[in-house]
Structure 1
């Protein structure tokens, strides 16, 4: 069994100073609805905002299934004091032959400008490089998403390329561009 397979045996809970990065549970449906119905939080996502709680409940099931099928690890960013889920962060698109994956994240807009995603991304990158033993983590970002670009640059990612028309957006029914940023293990120094 390689190190990537081993992370899909028991969900890897992580802890930062202010947050627990944990697996989603049914009780998180309300917080997920708040997140996915927030127009600013989903602005660069490729789907519509949620319109009812039933969609949030289905999202919980999809997250659990995605993990059990070894497709991704999607952590809820849960406040240590309140257990409120303020955002999500994930590793996905695992390439077991080249020991790399992609990172993704979204944050409830009520919690912007508090360095939450920086704090959580550092913990996820430590996990990716030191536990899973990945050699590269990539981020595929809409070129207009300045907040996301700022975050990955702050974390040490380097821009690798712009891919035109690579990502279909279900909201707009258009193909969008993506800028690919990458961080190599030997360049990670946070």
Structure 2
């Protein structure tokens, strides 16, 4: 990539999804995801200013504005995952890089993946992870990714293991539990 992801966020595409910068107009779609109690329990809010459970459109709109400000300040990119078949945002990817010191790894990409509960299955998650591996890792110049998957996230864990992620010992890289690395 000849430019920084913070200059212009690319649009990516896979078989079922389009991945593009989150937009304020996504609020109504994303509220379905972020107000879903089944989805919420799988979200990763470690070290965040919110738990990402929203009940009103206004809360979701404020969250998106915050994400866009964070992007402007180059903290992370938040990408909407749009289901091509229904042309609707069904979740988001957050990605950023972090310096670590772990087994000769000095920089990792951190992935947060928030999905509406009906998309929380191995097939969809694998498709999304492929986009992250093949595109966001290059954009951030990282070879390794860490992401969280609590024990209840059976489909997510299956997708991670199938994509060659390994469970980290708790609190090895981050002061939190239930992380996987690839």
User: Does the CA-based 8 Å contact 1:71-1:94 persist in structure 2?
Assistant: no
Tell me, in whole angstroms, the C-alpha distance in 2 between the residues paired with 1:103 and 1:151: 14
Deviation at 1:149, TM superposition (A): 2.2
Alignment of 1:1-190 (within 5 A): 6-45=4-43, 46=45, 47=51, 49-95=53-99, 98-113=106-121, 115-163=123-171, 178-183=177-182
User: Does the CA-based 8 Å contact 1:90-1:104 persist in structure 2?
Assistant: yes
Provide closer, same or farther for how the CA distance between residues 182 and 113 of structure 1 changes in structure 2, counting only shifts above 3 A: closer
User: Does the CA-based 8 Å contact 1:140-1:179 persist in structure 2?
Assistant: yes
User: Does the CA-based 8 Å contact 1:35-1:108 persist in structure 2?
Assistant: yes
User: Does the CA-based 8 Å contact 2:167-2:179 persist in structure 1?
Assistant: yes
Structure 2 match to 1:170 = none
Q: TM-score, normalised by structure 1?
A: 0.77
Tell me, in whole angstroms, the C-alpha distance in 1 between the residues paired with 2:149 and 2:118: 22
Provide closer, same or farther for how the CA distance between residues 144 and 80 of structure 1 changes in structure 2, counting only shifts above 3 A: closer
Task: Provide runs of 4+ in structure 1 moved above 4 Å.
Answer: none
Task: Report the structure, 1 or 2, having the larger strand content.
Answer: 1
SS in 2 for 1:41: helix
Tell me, in whole angstroms, the C-alpha distance in 2 between the residues paired with 1:92 and 1:8: 11
- Which region of structure 1 is more displaced relative to structure 2, 13-22 or 107-116? 107-116
Provide closer, same or farther for how the CA distance between residues 141 and 116 of structure 1 changes in structure 2, counting only shifts above 3 A: closer
User: Does the CA-based 8 Å contact 1:14-1:21 persist in structure 2?
Assistant: yes
Q: CA RMSD in A?
A: 2.7
Structure 2 match to 1:171 = none
Tell me, in whole angstroms, the C-alpha distance in 1 between the residues paired with 2:42 and 2:83: 24
User: Does the CA-based 8 Å contact 1:102-1:139 persist in structure 2?
Assistant: yes
The answer for unaligned runs of 5 or more in structure 1 is 168-176, 184-190
Provide closer, same or farther for how the CA distance between residues 114 and 86 of structure 1 changes in structure 2, counting only shifts above 3 A: farther
User: Does the CA-based 8 Å contact 1:100-1:137 persist in structure 2?
Assistant: yes
User: Does the CA-based 8 Å contact 2:82-2:88 persist in structure 1?
Assistant: yes
The answer for unaligned runs of 5 or more in structure 2 is 46-50
